[in-house]
Amino acid sequence: MEQKDNNKDNKSKWLKRAGMGAFIFFLAKGLVWLAVFFFAAKSCSDFT
């Protein structure tokens, strides 16, 4: 019985870590894309 509880705790911890990792990854990816579009628009507006 305790083995099942331990496996459930390990899976729960793994899912929380994976979720936080995914959140940080997509946050960083979104910020990079915002920076790309910002600098692209800034460079295009210099020519006008």
**For the chain, domain boundaries:** 1-48
Phi, psi of 47 (to 5 degrees): -85, -10
Model pLDDT for residues 22-38, shown as the tens digit of each residue: 999 999 999 999 999 99
What tokens appear for 35 in the block? 């920076």
Q: Is 10 left (phi over 0), alpha (psi -120 to 50) or beta?
A: alpha
Name the more confident of 33 and 48: 33
pLDDT at 5 over 90: no
Measured torsion, CA atoms of residues 21, 24, 30, 31, in degrees rounded to the nearest 10: -150
What DSSP character marks residue 47?
T
Quickly list H helices, the chain: 2-45
